[in-house]
Every structure is written in structure tokens, then in C-alpha cells.
Amino acid sequence: MKKAKTTKFKESVGIDIGSHSVKVVHLKRLHEGFKLLNYEIRPTVPIGVEYVPSDLRPDRFAPVLIEIMKTLHINPKKIQHLVTSVGGDNTSIKQIKTIFLPDDELESALFFEAKKHIPISGTDMVLDYQVIDVEEKTNNMNILLGATSKELLNQHTNALVTAGLNPNIVDIDSLAVANSFALNAFVEEGVYILLNLGAHRTNMIIWGPEAKFFARDIPFGGYNFTRDIMRKRQMEWEDAENHKMEWGLLDNPNVASAQTISMLDISEKSTEDVIVEELRRSLRFYVKEAGNSDFRKLYLMGGTAKLNGLREYIEEKLSIPTDIFMPFINVEMPEKFADKKDPQLALAIGLAMRLE
């Protein structure tokens, strides 16, 4: 990867194309930080209609993007700085250590090194990297490797082009989440756990100012919570969605025979239990690999982060202080957005704040 030139721009657009909704954030760059000009969140599947994730077509994104651009009065051809991201099974990010190599040798060497660490076929891999630091004592390099498949990248850029957008920087979801947190949080030493809870998957990131970077996806999200409610409470999709949005993991006190979705059959774990179990497993792995267990706080973001009772449940089960992350410390908010802060904007804001 050649050194990227610092891009000078006055405005930027970050687009988070999620499996269930598209989030677009339009920022103005200030001398220090950014100002939110506008944002839009729009679903890509009909509200109140049950859907099968495997049946969702990739061509549903472009019409939604076109409508969002019209709503926000953004001319796609005049966007100065556009940053988007990809995620899912065909993406991977790893922090590795290697011997020091000059720039002209590093890129080719890392391609072969990546095959050992990243589960994507070499012939189908699109690789990028960032040198984090060079250790003084050993002269070893700590490097962050990011990879995706050519097929996924082409599918992503095709959606943008069809919507009249010019693909510019394409990041990986987990990196954008970490970037959003690093730029919009007051952090001390230690390690922070970030959970970006989407509709069908949860990005888990472990990050700290001096900590080893770790990221993985947990294949559970808001869709699975709704399915839990349907199964346990004998509800149709729309009613289960409404219950989830209003009550989350809690009982509706107006329903006499209410049961909690945590009370599933012993053979079938609830979604919150599965997520907690995966978190425990990942934290044990991280401690073993990184030798660091100084977990200061866990932050929830994404649309499912707002689920009533979820924050308290995770905090109780993991015994780690847990909060909902609002990514607006370095984003000036006009008065009209004062009551419209939303944790599901975290990824899109992290993209829009990316400088190069």
C-alpha cells in the first residue's frame, strides 16, 4: 500500500449499507472536529413484513440510496469525500507482527503472510494494510491487515455506481466502528469492547490506545431477537417487532400471561445468551493471545443497542460496566438534532470522519 495523500475536503459523506437498513451521514469539516449537516436512516425491506435473510436481493440497495440522496439534497456527483464499508463473512481483519521490511518489499510479503491469517482464497483476496508501529527493541512491525473478496467488493461498488455514486474509500465495518469510537470518546488506558449490533450480525471489536486490536463477527442481531419473541410469545412478525421496539427483553405489564424471551426451551438458547456466550469465548481468547485483561468498559452501538434490558443483561452476565455509545463528542449537533441522537449512526459517522 503506497502512502495515501491527505485529502482536502470541506464536506464528507459516510454510508453504512446494512443488511436491513441504509444509514447516510453528511458532515461538514471544521477546524477541529465536524458538524452534522444531516442524516437519514431508511430500511431496505418493508416494515412489518417478515423476511428471510437469504432471500434478500443485493439490488435493493441502489433505489434506497437514490431516495436518501434526494431527501438530503445531496448531488452524488458533487460529493467531495465519500467513504463506505463492507462487512460479513467475506471480510477479515487481523493484527499481526512481522520482521521489519522496507516499503518496496512489505506489500508482496504481506500478501503471502495474509494467507496464513485470513480465511479468504488468495486468488479472490483484496488486501490492504496499515503499519501501526515499529517496536524499538526488536524492530518488529505491528501491522493491521484487512481483506475482503473481489466478489463482495464488486457487489458493493456496483450498488454505489447504480445509485449514481462514485466509489471512493471502502473500509471494513469493524475498522469504521473503532474509528468512530477513537474519535468520539474520552478514553483512558486499558481495553474497550465495542459491540455494533445490527439486524443479522454483531461486530465485536476490542480496542485500546496501547492494546492489541481484535475483531470478529457474531452472526446474531435484531432479527434473531424478533424470532425469539415470535416463538416464545406466539406472535406474528409485525407484533413481535412492535413488542421488541417497545419492551425489548422486558415483559409487557399490560399482558397478564407475559413470559420473558429468556425463558426459552432448555434445548434452545435465547439470542442474548448466545451473544454473551460468544463474548465470553472471545474475551478468553483475547486474554490468552494479547496477555491483557484490563477491560474498562463495554459499549453498545447499532440499531439493536436500544433494546430495552439488553445493556443491563450484558453488564450483569459479564460483570463489565456497559453503556450505549453515542458518537457525537467531536461532532457539533445543530439544535434540530438535539433529541435525535442515535447509536445506529456510529458506523456511518466513523466512515464520514475518516480523513484518508
For 287, how many CA atoms within 13 A lie in the half-sphere containing its CB? 9
Phi, psi of 292 (to 5 degrees): -135, 120
Q: Which fold has domain 187-324?
A: Nucleotidyltransferase; domain 5 (3.30.420)
Confirm or reject CATH 3.30.420.40 for domain 1-88+149-185+326-356, answering yes or no. Answer: yes
pLDDT for 310 equals 97
Nearest to 354 by CA among 57, 25, 128: 25
pLDDT for 321 equals 97
> What are the grid coordinates assigned to 247, written together?
419492551
For the chain (356 residues), the mean pLDDT of every run of 10, in chain order, is: 58 95 96 94 90 88 97 95 94 90 85 78 82 88 91 95 95 95 91 96 94 95 96 93 94 66 62 98 96 96 95 98 94 89 95 89
Beta strand 82-86 pairing with 11-17:
parallel
Return d(Cα 45, Cα 25) in angstroms, integer. 20
pLDDT for 158 equals 96
> What are the grid coordinates assigned to 217, written together?
463477527
Return d(Cα 115, Cα 268) in angstroms, integer. 36
Query: Do the domains 187-324 and 1-88+149-185+326-356 match in fold?
Result: yes
Read off the pLDDT of residues 233-291 as tens digits, 9 standing for 90 and up: 899 999 999 999 999 998 887 775 545 545 555 557 899 999 999 999 999 999 999 99
Return d(Cα 87, Cα 17) in angstroms, integer. 9
* Domain spans of the chain, in order of start: 1-88+149-185+326-356, 187-324
Strand ranges across the sheet with 141-149 = 91-98, 141-149, 125-134
Return d(Cα 122, Cα 353) in angstroms, integer. 31
